[in-house]
Amino acid sequence: MQYGIEKISAAPNGRSVGKELEQKIRDRTARVGVIGLGYVGLPLALEMGKAGYQVTGIDIDMAKADSVNAGKSYILDVPSETLQSLVTNGRIKATQCQAAVENLDAVSICVPTPLGKTKTPDLSYVIAAVEAVHNHLRPGQLIILESTTYPGTTREVVLPILEASGLEVGKDFFVAYSPERVDPGNKSYTTQNIPKVIGGITECCTELATLFYQQFIKTVVPVSSPEVAEMVKLLENTFRSVNIALANEMALMCQKFVINVWEVIEAAKTKPFGFMAFYPGPGLGGHCIPMDPYYLAWKAKMNGFEPRLIELAGSINSQMPAFTVTRVADALNERQKSLKGSKILALGVAYKRNANDTRESPALEVIRGLYEKGAFVYYSDPYVPSLEIANLTLKSIDIIPEVLQSMDCVLVLTDHAAFNYEMIAAHSFLILDKRNAFRDFSGSNVIRF
Q: What crossing angle do the helices spanning 308-318 and 320-333 adopt, rounded to 10°? A: 30
Q: How far is CA 144 from CA 103, 128, 157, in A?
A: 16, 15, 13
Clarify whether 97 is annotated catalytic.
no
- The residue type found at 300 is A
Residue 313 in 3-state DSSP?
A: helix
Greatest Cα pair distance, the chain, in angstroms, is 78
Which of 324, 243, 15, 261 minimizes the C-alpha distance to 139? Answer: 15
Cβ-contact 366, 413 below 8 angstroms: yes
Residue 226 in 3-state DSSP?
A: helix
Q: What is the DSSP letter of 23?
A: H
Determine how β-strand 220-222 pairs with β-strand 343-347: unpaired
Q: How far apart are CA 367 and CA 379, in angstroms?
A: 9
Exposure of 50 in the CB half-sphere (CA atoms within 13 A): 17
Residue 167 in 3-state DSSP?
A: coil
Q: What crossing angle do the helices spanning 41-50 and 80-88 adopt, rounded to 10°? A: 50
Cβ-contact 432, 346 below 8 angstroms: no
Residue 35 in 3-state DSSP?
A: strand
- The residue type found at 220 is V
Q: How far apart are CA 447 and CA 400, in angstroms?
A: 21
Q: How far apart are CA 332 and CA 338, in angstroms?
A: 6
* Candidate list 110, 204, 254, 288, residue with the active-site label: 288
Q: What is the DSSP letter of 224?
A: S
Find how far residue 396's CA is from the centre of its chain.
23
Q: How far apart are CA 363 and CA 282, in angstroms?
A: 7
Strands (E), 204-354: 220-222, 343-347
Which of 359, 290, 283 minimizes the C-alpha distance to 327? Answer: 283
Which residues belong to the active site?
Answer: 288
